[in-house]
């Protein structure tokens, strides 16, 4: 399970110019003197149970990615407590871990190692990984030749074999086609039966409706609601066009 108690995250954006070369280059631009404090998250408290599928939605700048990175241990919370029970697998940026000049075959072993898989395990499951991705004919092609959707298919196919307890995904399955997305949905449902947990951020409200047990709606770093998908979708529609569509530069 995942438990967050009053979690807040602060970032400090330098206002003064710190680099003399930069100062000379942009001397005609008036810079803000004071550093700027941005609270990306403010007192987030929630509990996610084993086997739950939780979606995180909200406008750009609402704190979705920051929250996932705190759960993953990439960011440390400024205040509050984070407890994650179990092994966490996280893919928080598409293509990170792939080397563009290496082949798909080589990148499967590389990305698998990054996710903590042993080489022997990857070798035994290699055929299953490439078959699931539907990229067999590209196995010796360089990754840089693939489209974004193909890279995401490859990444998710490897993740399926690395996922142990908790999976974190940022903007999950955004660029894959609908047919592959449906296949992934079925895999996720099977994993749920094994009490595996998935937490993902997305702008795809339909995916959240189809997959999630509960959905977290964030706005300006704060929890608007955390409830069943149908209730959250109603809240999102209620707020859209008003507060949710107004960007905030003071409290992202």
**Exposed (0-12), middle (13-18) or buried (19+): which is 80, by Cβ within 10 Å?**
middle
**Cβ proximity of 218 and 224 under 8 Å:** yes
Query: Residue 72 pLDDT > 50, yes or no?
Result: yes
Pairing of strands 214-219, 53-57: parallel
Q: How far apart are CA 141 and CA 131, in angstroms?
A: 15
Query: Residue 242 pLDDT > 50, yes or no?
Result: yes
Percentage of the residues of the chain whose pLDDT score is greater than 70: 83
In this predicted model, what pLDDT tens digit does every residue of 126-160 receive, in sequence order? 999 999 899 999 999 999 999 888 888 888 888 88
């409706």: which residue's tokens?
209
Confidence tier at 246 by pLDDT (50, 70, 90)? very low
DSSP H helices in 44-103: 64-72
Query: For position 252, what pLDDT does the model report?
Result: 33
Query: For position 99, what pLDDT does the model report?
Result: 92
Question: What are the start-end ranges of the E strands in 94-185?
Answer: 166-170
| Mean pLDDT value across residues 117-129 | 92
Q: Of the candidates 162, 163, 195, 168, which has an alpha carbon nearest to the alpha carbon of residue 50? A: 195
Residues sharing a CB contact under 8 Å with residue 107, sequence separation 6 or more, in sequence order: 97, 98, 99, 143, 154
Q: Of the candidates 172, 171, 159, which has an alpha carbon nearest to the alpha carbon of residue 132? A: 159
Residues sharing a CB contact under 8 Å with residue 135, sequence separation 6 or more, in sequence order: 104, 146, 150, 153, 154
Dig out the tokens for 36 from the structure.
């700027």
**Cβ proximity of 5 and 45 under 8 Å:** yes
Q: Considering the entire predicted model, what is its pTM?
A: 0.77
| Mean pLDDT value across residues 157-183 | 77
Q: How far apart are CA 73 and CA 140, in angstroms?
A: 34
Please give the backbone phi and psi of residue 46, each rounded to the nearest 5 degrees, phi first. -165, 160
What letter would DSSP give residue 216? E
Dig out the tokens for 53 from the structure.
């599928």
Q: Alpha carbon of 196 to those of 68, 100, 191, 204, 252: distances in Å?
A: 17, 31, 6, 22, 31
- The three-class DSSP label of residue 54 is strand
In this predicted model, what pLDDT tens digit does every residue of 16-36 receive, in sequence order? 655 555 555 555 555 556 678
In this predicted model, what pLDDT tens digit does every residue of 77-110 receive, in sequence order? 999 999 998 888 877 766 667 899 999 999 999 9
Confidence tier at 10 by pLDDT (50, 70, 90)? very high
Domains of the chain and any CATH numbers: 2-245 (3.40.50.300)
Confidence tier at 189 by pLDDT (50, 70, 90)? confident
- Which helix (H) or strand (E) segment holds residue 201: the answer is strand 197-201
């Amino acid at each position: 399970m995942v438990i967050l108690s009053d979690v807040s995250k602060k970032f400090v954006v330098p206002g003064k110019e710190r680099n003399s070369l930069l100062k000379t280059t942009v001397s005609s631009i008036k810079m803000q003197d004071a550093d700027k404090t941005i609270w990306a998250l403010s007192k987030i408290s929630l509990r996610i149970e084993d086997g739950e599928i939780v979606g995180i939605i909200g406008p750009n700048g609402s704190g979705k990615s920051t929250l996932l990175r705190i759960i993953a241990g990439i960011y440390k919370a400024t205040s509050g407590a984070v407890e994650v029970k179990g092994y966490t697998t996280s893919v928080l940026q598409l293509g990170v871990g792939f080397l563009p000049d290496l082949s798909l075959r080589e990148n499967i072993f590389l990305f698998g190692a990054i996710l903590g898989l042993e080489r022997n395990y990857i070798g035994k499951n290699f055929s299953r990984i490439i078959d699931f991705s539907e990229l067999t004919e590209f196995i010796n092609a360089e990754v840089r030749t693939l489209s974004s959707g193909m890279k995401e298919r490859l990444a998710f196919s490897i993740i399926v074999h690395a996922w142990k307890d908790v999976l974190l995904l940022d903007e999950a399955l955004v660029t894959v086609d609908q047919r592959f997305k449906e296949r992934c949905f079925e895999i996720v449902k099977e994993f749920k039966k094994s009490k595996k947990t998935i937490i993902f951020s997305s702008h795809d409200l339909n995916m959240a409706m189809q997959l999630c047990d509960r959905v977290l709606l964030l706005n300006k770093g704060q929890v608007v609601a955390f409830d069943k998908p149908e209730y959250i979708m109603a809240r999102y529609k209620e707020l859209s066009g008003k507060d949710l569509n107004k960007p905030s530069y003071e409290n992202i």
